[in-house]
Structure 1
Amino acid sequence: PTPFAFGAPEFQPAAILSLCIVMLVLMTESSAGMLALGEICDRRADARVITRGLRTDGLATLVGPVFGGFPTSAFAQNVGVVSLTRVRSRYVVAVAGATLLVLGAFPVLGAVVSLVPMPVLGGAGIVLFGSIAVSGIRTLSEAGLDDSSNIILVAVALGAGIIPLAAPTFYAEFPAWAQTVLGSGISAGAIVAVALNLFFHHLGTRSRTAAPALKSS
């Protein structure tokens, strides 16, 4: 890899704003991955763990484009690998990362990996993505779905997240910045979930009625 192969970096306000939105999307995805991984490893990811993970993502995103890469985030499929293999050692992760660095520096070695048949990768992908979905369902089961407002929140957020996959041209007539945000199911679902959570649980009559009980406790 050649540093700055595409030329010296430029700092354009519109591009910076767009990439900030993209980074929010990646941070949302990484946070979800860390929470799911904490559930699998029986070690809940608290604010400190998520903060350190996002800082690592930011550092990787800063270094990656120097060598022609893209913004980097925690790869959700790896959460499925941990769930299937039950291998939780950080040393295994470190060795795997070093192996990827070697494969990236020597394309001939990377070509050997590409010889793995696609049906094999497809079969493994079904199990990996399915395990990620199960982890998400297990997390949702603790979200108090006996409350009707929470059911509406989850339903609408899931619907917003599925729209970019089910109808890729749904946002075709929207402004470019809106397509950047809403074109990703993760970001669209996260924005809807946060907005509805604020509406249902932090604004209006519910927040006013909950305040005295919180104060008395």
Structure 2
Amino acid sequence: MAEKEVSQQKAAVLGLQHLLAMYSGAVAVPLLIGNALKFSPAQMTYLVSIDIFMCGLATLLQLMRNKYFGIGFPVILGCAIQAVAPLQMIGQKFSINDMYGAIIVAGIFVVLISGVFAKIKKFFPPVVTGTLITTIGLTLVPVAIQNMGGGNSAAKSFGSGQNLLLAFCTMFIILALEIWTKGFIRSISVLIGLVAGTVIAACMGLVSFTPVMEASWFHLPQLFYFGVPKFEWSSSLTMIIIALVSMVESTGVFFAIGDLLHHDVTEEDLKKGYRAEGIAQIFGGLFNAFPYTTFSQNVGLLQLSGIKTKRPIYWAGGLLMAMGLLPKIGAMVTIIPTPVLGGAMLVMFTMIAVQGIKTLAKVDLSDNNNVLIIAISVGLGLGVTIYPQFFKNLPATVQLFLSNGIVITSLSATILNFLLKGGDRKAKQKTQTANIM
């Protein structure tokens, strides 16, 4: 569907659907860090509000492609979940101001190396991108299953009949709409599923409106809310490493969306995409928010809705900023029960994996080297996702890289492709040279 065919009203509804799909992941980071650093209720209110606002601003920076930054793809940016543990460590060991200083330094680093890092495109042929996209989807599935069970696997209520009923009802509603409806209704199947699931939960007495009642009406972003940033070298180095991990992960998402849009992702696209994320991270540090990265959650929603234009994402970004300024409205999204979100996530995340499989279908699977690249890389990615403590005896810096399933799949597929296929390329070049002579 061309962008001009999507009316503003429909784009707004589609934007809300994208917002709901990423919201829980976006607010998880401030909640985890704020609780770990024992923030006061007032500080937590600011932290969540500024985080939502900055998610919207970061998204708009990425959408608005210009001469200097912005990939211009229909992507949404949110907090980098891999930054949680390092930020908690920095905040506890040093101070909150050191934490935000490190975020700013890492953002500047991303902006400066964006052009150099973009040259990795040549290391991402279809066998690598297909493997990476497939793994992105598969590594997100455990998150969906955990949410379907209730969110906290240690809780007694995890996997209860109520949680499973809500999760599967939401999933079946989305599937029914995908099968038996068409047009706009089908494109917002996830949104309808989330609303319907929440209504069912409310009828069961499982929805609390307390967060909405307690939230304030208006909140403005403040520069240096927690004080002037401090710059400590080890903290900055740690966040630079996290930024590199996020850049590798974003690369996979960029290729996934490029594949979905039938767009060849260029070196220029990557450079502007990385640069937008770096600028967003700098703003995050200045306004005491967080590092931001391109969310993979919404790739599946693009595939599922069939609408791959930027207009709904502009709406999503604008709505996020508005919700950051109006906490009471933002709190309304938090009443969606976790199992309901999980049911919708399972559908979306598996769609990402299917997109990766479609890419791999174009790869010559009669070539055993290609099979080895896919098998080993997917295996490593899924294994590390299930057992992130696998590398716990390695140095902490190495663990920051290797505890992320998407990153280790990217490294594995890239290295194996170079080792196993590099010889093939040289042989072909020699053959072509011999034929010419």
State if a TM-score over 0.5 links the two structures.
yes
Q: How is 1:53-202 mapped onto 2 (pairs within 5 angstroms)?
A: 53-202=273-422
Q: Indicate which of 189, 211, 215 corresponds to 2:429.
A: 211
- AA aligned opposite 1:68: N
Q: Note closer, same or farther for the CA distance 1:139–1:18 as it changes in structure 2 (3 Å cut).
A: farther
Displacement of 1:71 in angstroms is: 1.6
Moved more, 103-112 or 1-10: 1-10
Q: Determine if contact 1:36/1:139 at 8 Å carries over to the other structure.
A: no
The answer for the alignment partner of 2:171 in structure 1 is none
User: Which of structures 1 and 2 has the larger relative contact order (alpha carbons within 8 angstroms, sep 6+)?
Assistant: 2
Question: What is the SS of the residue equivalent to 1:44?
Answer: coil
Cα distance change, pair 80–173 in 1 and its aligned pair in 2 (3 A)? same
Deviations 1:121-149 (A, max 9, x none): 11110111011111111122223332111
Amino acid at match of 1:31: T
Distance 1:147 1:7, change over 3 A: farther
- Assess if the C-alpha contact under 8 Å between 1:25 and 1:187 holds in 2: yes
Distance in 2 (CA, whole Å) between partners of 1:95 and 1:52 is 21
Determine helix, strand or coil for the equivalent of 2:391.
coil
Mapped contact 2:388–2:404 kept (Cα < 8 A): no
Shift of 1:87: 1.9
- The alpha-carbon deviation at position 214 of structure 1 amounts to 4.5
SS of 1:157's partner is: helix
CA displacement, residues 33-76 of structure 1 (integer Å, 9 cap, x when unaligned):
22222222233333332332222222212212222222211111
- Rounded Cα–Cα distance in structure 2 between residues aligned with 1:30 and 1:173: 27
Give the Å deviation of 1:153. 1.3
- 2:254 is the alignment partner of 1:37: no
In structure 2, relative to structure 1, the CA distance for the partners of 1:107 and 1:198 (3 Å cut) is same
Distance in structure 2 (CA, Å) of the matches to 1:10 and 1:163: 38
SS in 1 for 2:413: helix
Is the Cα–Cα contact under 8 Å of residues 389 and 403 in structure 2 kept in the other structure?
no
Shift of 1:91: 1.9
Considering only CA atoms, is the larger Rg found in Structure 1 or Structure 2? 2
- Distance, in Å, in 2 between the alignment partners of 1:187 and 1:79 is 18
CA, structure 1 residues 92+173, in 2 after alignment: closer, same or farther (shift >3 Å)? same
Cα distance in structure 2, aligned partners of 1:24 and 1:90: 26
3-state DSSP of counterpart to 2:293? coil
Query: How much does 1:207 deviate?
Result: 5.2
When the two structures are superposed, what TM-score results if normalisation uses the length of structure 2? 0.46
Asked if 1:28 is matched to 2:248, the reply is yes
Mapped contact 2:369–2:420 kept (Cα < 8 A)? yes
CA distance in 2 between partners of 1:154 and 1:23 (Å): 26
Structure 1: 5+ residue runs without aligned partners? none
Distance in 2, matches of 1:214 and 1:24, equals 38
Number of the residue aligned with 1:4: 224
Quote the sequence identity (%): 33
Counterparts of 2:386 and 2:278, CA distance in 1: 31
Q: Is this contact kept in 2: 1:164–1:170, CA < 8 A?
A: yes
* Partner amino acid, structure 2, of 1:36: A
Distance 1:141 1:157 in 2: 16
Contact kept in structure 2, 1:103 and 1:110, CA below 8 Å: yes
1:210 alignment partner AA = K
Paired residues, what number? 215
Q: Is the 8 A contact 1:25 1:186 kept in 2?
A: no
Quote how far apart the aligned CAs of 1:117 are.
2.8
The DSSP-based 3-state class of the residue aligned with 1:88 is coil
What 5-or-longer segments of structure 2 have no aligned partner? 1-220
In 1, distance between residues paired with 2:406 and 2:279? 22
Shift of 1:99: 0.5
Which letter does structure 1 place at the counterpart of 2:429? A
Which has the larger displacement, 12-21 or 96-105? 12-21
